[in-house]
Amino acid sequence: MTNSTTVKELTHFIGGQQVAGASGRFSDVYNPATGEVIAKVPLASSVEVKAAIQKAKEAFPAWRDLSVAKRAEVVLKFRNLLTANKEKVIDLICTESGKTVEDAMGEITRGLESVDLAISAPHLVKGEYSVNVGGGINAYSAKYPLGVVAAIAPFNFPIMVPLAQTSMAVAVGNAVILKASERVPMTALYISELWKEAGLPDGIWTVVNGDKEAVNELLENPAVEAISFVGSTPVARYIYETSAKYGKRVVALGGGKNNMVVMPDADLEQVANAFISAGYGAASQRCMAISTLMAVGQDTADRLVGILKEKIEALKVGAYQDGADYGPVISPQAKQSILAAIDQGEAEGAALVVDGREKEITKNSKGFFLAPTLFDHVKPGMELYDQEIFGPVRNIVRVDSLEEAISLINEHELGNGVTIFTNDGAAARKFTTEIDVGMVGVNVPIPIPVGYHNFAGFKGSRFGDGQMFGPDQARFYTKSKMVSERWITPSDSSGLSFAFPSNK
């Protein structure tokens, strides 16, 4: 485990080098399992971000002009280095985010899917060609990288989301600036060294650490062509509106209030296991975590409550080296906010099935641990239902029919992920057809697509037209030119014409 007694002063990664912060401002990086400050991360000023953007801008032309095969070769070398050093990456993820080893390994595996897709960039950036579209003219399209692009990453996935946001951007020829979460900067700085070792030219990969000042410079600087963001819905809306104001291409993914609809015919033992793993894994700090179990029928709900109560109370919460089911939340502020949400849920009349507040690890641990909490009889209008609680507090909503479940879900402002558990094909078809949510599962607890399919929610869960995973990444990070060409021979003759060009 990383030594948590020494507070290290971290850097930025600019121009292929570790660069000390110059703003004089720092933020604490915690080990959430111990509550200790393990590092100080510099918060870049707008002047520092401008300098980083300029370095990236200067490096871009040579990388753009390198063959797409050579760029893919660098990405492949990076993949091999990441795989060879995965134990180091796991240690960093667990230390600064509090995840379990199993969860960190899963995050790396999913992140590698994005790298693998980026290796296939030569295929994804192929253009189209038409011969003799008219008058001896051939027409073709060609894709070109945008230039300098930026990714603003969340704390909950120190490596998976940054890799999903940036791998394709690098492969298709852009210079990438990653604004890592100031809560988990060490993983991003480490993979910067792997990119350098893989042969990526200096300036093509940049990490600037910072807060709103750094973010605003990325959003407003005219040299930055595109912004990719993952985080909460209010911030995603701000990122989108500000980026659009400055004429940038943008995709901003926000929060998710994800539901698991359970039909009476489902295997409730399987449902309970799926709900607990999807709901409480990573201390519920996933945008695709299941927040709400929506049970169809009172009998279904009653039986599930009995099964869930015993299983949830048996969950082991602890540090990653302790064989825990899940670890701490990210910060002391997050813990206090989640505890306040539990108090509010109780005050609003929701029924506590499992109360994690009084557990020993919640009350007396130095780390930011929260034992699991489950509410029943949650209704629209309650904070537990309306808001995304980014911590191990889950809820049960009782409905009388599948139609009622679909209606409630479609009325919610967020539409990230949803799943249904049933053995009825007709019910599943109705659900997948009528539900207004971006990622849908059938008997799949977390319906996050694999890296070679697109990823994005609907409504307040997504602003902009891009995707985080999948082939649309190649489209998002490139621009297309249409070329019409004709080679004229001396024998060609054409008179003067003012008619609009057409193929007669």
Q: Decide if 322 contacts 26 (C-beta within 8 A).
A: no
pLDDT digits (tens, 9 = 90+) for 147-160: 999 999 999 999 99
- CA 105/CA 396 separation, integer angstroms: 30
Q: Decide if 180 contacts 207 (C-beta within 8 A).
A: yes
Mean pLDDT of 430-449: 93
Q: Name the DSSP class of 325.
A: S
Per-residue confidence (pLDDT) for residue 456, from 0 to 100: 80
User: At residue 374, what are phi and psi to the nearest 5 degrees?
Assistant: -135, 130
- CA 400/CA 146 separation, integer angstroms: 51
- CA 366/CA 364 separation, integer angstroms: 7
pLDDT digits (tens, 9 = 90+) for 366-393: 999 999 999 999 999 999 999 999 999 9
182 membership: H or E segment, kind and range = none
User: At residue 101, what are phi and psi to the nearest 5 degrees?
Assistant: -60, -45
Q: How confident is the model at residue 492 (pLDDT cuts 50, 70, 90)?
A: low
Q: 290-315 burial, b if ≥16 CB within 10 A, otherwise e?
A: bbbbbbbbeebbebbbebbeebbeeb
Residue 236 has pLDDT above 90, yes or no: yes
| CATH superfamily of this structure's domain 8-254+461-482 | Aldehyde Dehydrogenase; Chain A, domain 1 (3.40.605.10)
pLDDT digits (tens, 9 = 90+) for 262-292: 999 999 999 999 999 999 999 999 988 999 9
Q: How confident is the model at residue 503 (pLDDT cuts 50, 70, 90)?
A: low
- Quick one: tokens of 497? 């014409």
Residue type, 343: D
Q: How confident is the model at residue 497 (pLDDT cuts 50, 70, 90)?
A: confident
Residue 1 has pLDDT above 60, yes or no: no
Q: How far is CA 297 from CA 109, 257, 264, 391, 401, in A?
A: 38, 21, 7, 27, 7
Per-residue confidence (pLDDT) for residue 493, from 0 to 100: 63
Q: How confident is the model at residue 4 (pLDDT cuts 50, 70, 90)?
A: very low
- From 72, 75, 163, 287, the catalytic residue: 287
Domain boundaries, the chain: 8-254+461-482, 258-442
Residue 217 has pLDDT above 60, yes or no: yes
Q: How far is CA 241 from CA 98, 233, 235, 236, 252, in A?
A: 33, 12, 10, 9, 10
**Which option is the CATH number for 258-442: 3.40.50.720, 3.40.50.150, 3.40.309.10, 3.65.10.10?**
3.40.309.10
Question: Same CATH fold, 258-442 and 8-254+461-482?
Answer: no
Chain mean pLDDT for the chain: 94
| 287: annotated active-site residue | yes
Collapsed DSSP state (helix, strand, coil) of residue 267: coil
Per-residue confidence (pLDDT) for residue 494, from 0 to 100: 65
Mean pLDDT of 82-86: 98
Mean pLDDT of 93-107: 96
